[in-house]
Amino acid sequence: MEMLTNKADDVRPLSDQRTANKNLLSEYTYYHGMVPPQDVPELLEKDGDFLLRKEQVKKGLLIAVLSVRCDDVVKHFIINKSDKGEYYIENLRAKTIEDLVQSHLKSGEPLSKASQARLKRAVPRQEWMLNHEDIIFRECVGQRNPDSVEEYVGEFVYNNVTRPVFLKTVGITCSRNVRARVMKEARLLRSLRHPNVGEIYGVALHYSPIILVLEYFSKSLHTHLKQNAGQISEEDRRRFITEAAAGFAYLAENGCIHRDISAKICKLSDALEVKISGFSLCENTKEMHESNNIQIAVKWQAPEVLKGGNFSLKSDVWSFGILMWEVYNDGAEPYAGMTPSVVKSMILEDDYKMPVPQASLQLNGNQEKA
């Protein structure tokens, strides 16, 4: 991403380290928080559309940026603050950011001579951009590590209604890669709407930490299978598989490869309806790249993934087959008693496949008779 700024000697980017008020920018309706550059083009539709945001330039350092559409491209301008307390980009200076923006709007003066970018219309925040003040943290459900993604159970207040939620946070000390990965997950989830796919309520972006606010489920399909071993009806097992299949088919139709399918990432609503979650490894087929550095659950992966990291919709189908095995074995671990390395060797060298559960064989037999 190209950052454009003036060439004066007193370039002083406005950063979080130079202001004690983390809400300094939040008062502006066109402030979009730490929305990543990848999300900006779709927000700025016409020439002159602009928004204010923060950009992480290095670990732990955020700066204020004006993003503006100039014909077919979006340009990004660093907002500076002089020692006299004046805000500026190149020539015009003002006591507040709002005054600076209004000066450019009224005068029509470009933000910089080189770019000729002019401000015409402020784009307001989107509905999915949530306020930190509406989010309540209750319990950490993962490891506490400020340099990585942290997960919590909490509450979200919307229209005076409080609902339980699952929270994923990205702190200011996280790397740009970690931040980009989480925002990519949020961008994907915002595009998905299906009865069997977990919902995202939005993202709090105004200041650090970034918080993904997700639909909350008290237990997973895996937990339910284990807790009710031997007591689940064949009808419910078929329903679990059918609902999961509907959710994964929807992902496939939208070009999404989940890459982490198992009974644990299938959550259950209060009505025991399957809801797919765990999208941190999910990729769009149009954006697929080499995936050699990700951690995978060996026992759920297809041979081509174990051999060369080649994920596809077909490898998701293999993983779904292991999920079906889990459903008909009351959540038992696949390849019980074997280490991941042994399982990998048996699959690749011996073409080993687990025995089909007797209950599912009976189901297939009944379907053939029908």
Is 123 a residue whose pLDDT tops 80?
A: yes
Q: What is the pLDDT of residue 199?
A: 97
Q: What is the pLDDT of residue 5?
A: 47
Element housing 70 (H / E)? strand 61-70
216 or 207, higher pLDDT? 216
CA distance 64 to 78: 6
CA-to-CA dists, residue 7 to 62, 110, 118, 136, angstroms? 20, 15, 18, 44
| 130-164 tens-digit pLDDT | 999 999 999 998 776 666 789 999 999 999 999 99
Q: What is the pLDDT of residue 361?
A: 52
Q: Where are the domains of the chain?
A: 3-122, 129-215, 220-369
Average pLDDT over all residues of the chain: 88
| 83-108 tens-digit pLDDT | 888 999 999 999 999 999 999 999 99
User: Within 13 A of 222's CA, how many CA atoms are on the CB side?
Assistant: 13
| 33-70 tens-digit pLDDT | 999 888 899 999 999 999 999 987 776 677 899 999 99
Q: 222 with 326: CB under 8 angstroms?
A: yes
CA-to-CA dists, residue 142 to 166, 168, 169, 198, 203, angstroms? 12, 10, 11, 19, 19
* Helical axes 234-253 vs 313-327, angle rounded to 10°: 170
Classify domain 3-122 at the CATH topology level.
Answer: SHC Adaptor Protein (3.30.505)
**Lowest mean pLDDT across 182-186, 328-332, 354-358:** 354-358
CATH code for 129-215?
3.30.200.20
Is 6 a residue whose pLDDT tops 90?
A: no
12 or 49, higher pLDDT? 49
Residues acting as catalytic residues: 260
Is 366 a residue whose pLDDT tops 70?
A: no
Element housing 245 (H / E)? helix 234-253
CA-to-CA dists, residue 345 to 28, 312, 352, angstroms? 58, 21, 9
Cα Rg for the chain, rounded, in angstroms?
A: 25
CATH code for 220-369?
1.10.510.10
Residue 12 carries which side chain, given as an amino acid letter?
R
Other Cβ atoms closer than 10 A to 163: 12
Q: Which two tokens stand for residue 194?
A: 């299906």
CA distance 201 to 189: 9
pTM exceeding 0.95: no
CA distance 31 to 66: 9
